[in-house]
Amino acid sequence: MTRYLPVLLLCACASSDVEPLRADDAAPLEPRPAVRGTVQESGQPRRFVDTHDHYAHAVGKVDAAKFDYLKKAKDGAPAVALTFDCAWVPEDRGLAVLDALREKGVKATFFISGPFVLAAGRPGVNDATQRVVRRIVEEGHEVGNHTKTHPHATPQVDWGAELSALVVGWDAAVARAFAGASVPANAKMLPYWRAPFGEYDARALGQATAQGFPYHFGWNVDARDALGYPSCKDAPQDGTCMTADKQTRWVLRFADANPTLDAFVVLAHLGGPYGWGSDPKGIRALVDGLRARGRTPVRLSEIAPDL
């Protein structure tokens, strides 16, 4: 793909400012059976942003030809979809992310998992989850499926049951959050799913499609908030610790290395521990940096092909 805006403001992020990958981060993913086709025949599984092309931990330029399945934003600008997996979500972290998105006028895509909504019935957790769920919906975001139990992929996983149980849990959480009030249409879960840990195969895609989730979305660049790095507040200031600023610069470095991509997808976690929502150098700085580079933050549904 070579379609891009005539001018991109590339505000360089010096590579020396971003710590290198650890050796295990750069290890290749296990090869998966080929399920090619970003758009296949109706009713067949469709993969978008295939993490099995080994770009989940990319550090430089990627092969743009592999990412011709996403389109530019409606305003004609190159786009970036901010996506948040939602499994273990302390209320303060979730609300901080939503505050930052609202402040910047950005809508995102949230992949909901059971540890988030199915824990909502426990005393002391219910009200907090309801507040986060209600804001996700009321503020115009969209939701996809991230499974009931967030399992690693094994031959024993029943992906249809995982996805259908999560829909039941999400619908119940929405009903509790709105308590009989009118529920916005965007509360309905889209037919999008994301396999936990990015682990799936042809069997998983087939079971998901049969359950009404034919569209699997991976990511291009990981915000690195679930890799187990200690916070730099609690660890030596070296390449083995993480901050909100480092997360932001990591994503912007990917944008700088790939200016011709019509769109790319960012993976982050609503419960990330490094203050990406609350720190001024976190999501707010990321959105400002992406816009300075001519990119428009969007929801996945705005850049996916007409499905």
In this prediction the pTM is 0.84
As a whole number of angstroms, the distance between CA 6 and CA 149 comes to 45
pLDDT attached to residue 123: 43
Lowest mean pLDDT among 98-112, 121-135, 180-194: 121-135
pLDDT attached to residue 70: 85
pLDDT, tens digit (0-9, with 9 covering 90-100), for 225-278: 998 999 998 876 666 899 999 999 999 999 999 998 899 999 999 999 999 999
Domain ranges of the chain: 45-302
pLDDT at residue 23 greater than cutoff 60? no
Sorted by sequence, the CB contacts under 8 Å of residue 183 that are 6+ apart come out as 137, 174, 175
Q: What CATH fold (topology level) applies to the domain 45-302?
A: TIM Barrel (3.20.20)
**Residue 54 backbone class (left: φ over 0; alpha: ψ -120 to 50; beta: rest):** left
